[in-house]
Structure 1
Amino acid sequence: MPTRLTRTAFILVLAALPSGAYAAKGKTMAEILEASTAADWRTPDPDNLLVLDLPGGRAVIELAPYFAPEHVANIRTLAREGYWNGLSINRSQDNFVVQWGDPAEDPAQAKPLGSAKAKLPAEFARAGYDKTAFHPVQDRDGWSKRAGFVQGFPAATDRKRTWLAHCYGTLGAGRGNEPDSSNGTELYVVTGQSPRQLDLNITTVGRVLQGMEHLSVLPRGTGPLGFYEKPEQRTPIVRLALASALPDAERPRLEVLRTDTATFDALVEARRNRSDDWYLHKAGHIDLCNIPISVRSPK
């Protein structure tokens, strides 16, 4: 018959156990995703998907018209009219970005924009804070009053404005010194540690959903800021098109985990306090840009 333990004896038994042995083991990210339902996933609008085909493979990028409607509209026009086809990736800066567009330095030799606009307003942030659209995370953000997600995109807010955060995989519109000098023709993707100092300084227009490996492995440029010094160093763009303009058989089939559900909140907690057997210490914190947003092929 088991011996009844006094409270003091019970505490001594706990103290003798290995650290964490009596803590409840939380679910892992894999377990949470396995238990997810169809309602936890969304299918991106094909009119918001850019398909970037390179010699090494394909990257699929979701546009964010909620944050930059005029830039996204111009990018759609450029893509529909094949503006980037035959152009190139001209920059790959270590731990920072890859950038593509027209490599011509002489404006007289630049590729025509077709029916796209040459001038757009700066769209660094969206005015206001819509708490019905903003799904916050509890962790402190060093770059804003609150961090979270809006329509599947990592975002931040000071409650006067809301913006798309510069995380790994973020797509931005390159500009010169003038705030309104971007028109979507020069695009870059963050391939290094999240450069959040760029927040509120440049128009961000989307995020890579799939195929980052084809961008992050590109050879680093040897010129200033990672630009390629010779034409043969550049990676040609085979095609950059909207998914909605592609034949049905060529469209990407993707589902993206929603960021406004209890399942996503559980996933964030699983990454905040890792329950994988390898982890001996629970961090109790996670950075906005380290929260993964899962992408899968439809079942």
Structure 2
Amino acid sequence: MRPALLALLVAAALPALAVAADEAQKPRTTQELLDASQPSDWRALDPASTLYLELATGRVVIELAPAFAPQHVANIRTLAHEGYWNGMSINRSQDNFVVQWGDPAEEGQPRKPLGDAKAHLPAEFERDAAGLDFHALPDRDGWAPEVGFADGFPAARDPAEGKAWLAHCYGAVGAGRDVAADSSDGTELYVVDGQSPRQLDRNITLVGRVVEGMELLSVLPRGTGPLGFYEDAAQRVPIKAIRLAADVPEAQRTKLEVLRTGTPLFDAVVESRRNRRDDWYKRPAGHIDLCNVTLPTREPPAH
């Protein structure tokens, strides 16, 4: 091939090669990463550890955390299986804090029997870190020496103490208690729907997190009583039922998968949120807060 012709062909190819190189170096967006995921990157929710909070406006899906609060989760399973909350109501909605439900009986008044559930449980504020599949984030945290994800839940740990615990992030579900640390029985549950109150970490037993339907709780009218409790019974939001997914016919279950948190794909997804490089962002943050890492979910793809 003549040198002049070769030079002409190379010159013509250079723009295309430059575009290809630029596209190869451009970081993929979160959605592009998820679109390229493999089936092994996702896991289905365990029906035995999934609660359905049924409201007139729709279904709230809650994943329970038996690895962190085994006795509370066992009690909650029993309560749901026996229909304890059916017909009760959401009776508290405190601005920038929590939504709570349970028996609305006034102090000193008879409360609904617990059935086969236990009336007394130990505090489950933390657990031994040994044996826990903890996937740490590299970012600093103001509340714990290390933070990351364990079994898909935002969590923290202290290597020096050998302890780990769930974090009070948006959507976290906890068991309300009195002053005594062991005064919760799992009947009074709350969901964090405001700025993450991490000061509650290791002070209350967290039992799970909402994976779908948070918008049904976050839009509820705020209570006007102390701590956001509804002063008028008519303001309370009726609960149609709270059921274990395992007790619901399979055809009626919410088909949902969550991204596994111990994978290279999850690391890439977190990095795509830590340092946003799309055209709108002018300065990458270089940091992400534990509670700002949202765990992707999806409907299982059709086979």
TM-score, with structure 2 as normaliser: 0.90
Range moving further from structure 2, 261-270 or 276-285: 276-285
Which protein is bigger by CA-based radius of gyration?
Answer: 2
Alignment of 1:207-222 (within 5 A): 207-222=209-224
- Name the residue aligned to 1:140: 140
Which one-letter code corresponds to 1:271 in the other structure?
R
SS of residue paired to 1:109: coil
Deviations 1:190-241 (A, max 9, x none): 0001110000000000000000000000000000110000100100100100
Alpha-carbon shift at residue 147 of structure 1 (Å)? 0.4
Correspondence 1:109 to 2:110: yes
Q: Distance in 1 between matches of 2:124 and 2:23?
A: 51
Tell me by how many angstroms 1:128 deviates: 3.0
Cα distance in 1, alignment partners of residues 278 and 62 from structure 2:
30
Tell me what 2:30 maps to: 29
Give the drift of 1:108.
4.2
Q: Output the amino acid matched with 2:38.
A: T
How many angstroms does 1:25 deviate by? Answer: 2.8
- The alignment partner of 2:268 has SS state of helix
Find the counterpart in structure 2 of residue 155 from structure 1: 155
Contact 1:92 1:226 in 2 (8 A): yes
Return 5+ residue gaps in structure 2 as ranges.
1-6, 9-21
State the partner residue of 2:187.
Answer: 185
- The CA distance in 2 between the partners of 1:231 and 1:24, in whole Å, is 59
- Partners of 1:47 and 1:138 lie apart in 2 by 33
Hey, what does 2:72 align to over in structure 1?
Answer: 71
Out of 291, 295, 298, the position equivalent to 2:297 is: 295
- 1:119 corresponds to 2:120: yes
Who is 1:258 aligned against? 260
Q: Distance in 1 between matches of 2:133 and 2:239?
A: 35
**Offset, 1:56:** 1.4
Change (3 A) 1:55 1:22: closer
- Within-5 A mapping of 1:48-59: 48-59=49-60
Residues paired across the two proteins, number? 280
Any idea what the Cα deviations from partners look like across 1:43-80, whole Å, max 9, x if unmatched? 11100000001111110000000000000000000000
SS in 2 for 1:71: helix
Paired position in structure 1 for 2:12: none
User: Which letter does structure 1 place at the counterpart of 2:201?
Assistant: D
Q: How many angstroms apart in 1 are the aligned matches of 2:128 and 2:261?
A: 21
Q: Counterpart of 1:171? A: 173
| d(CA) in 2 for partners of 1:61, 1:214 | 13
Alpha-carbon contact 1:129-1:157 (below 8 Å) kept: no
Aligned to 2:84: 83
Aligned pair 1:199/2:201, yes or no? yes
After TM superposition, give the deviation of residue 106 of structure 1 in Å: 4.4
Q: Give 1:293's aligned amino acid.
A: L
The answer to whether the aligner puts 1:271 opposite 2:277 as a matched pair is no
Segments of 5+ residues of structure 1 without an aligned counterpart are 3-20
1:22–1:87 Cα change, 3 Å: closer
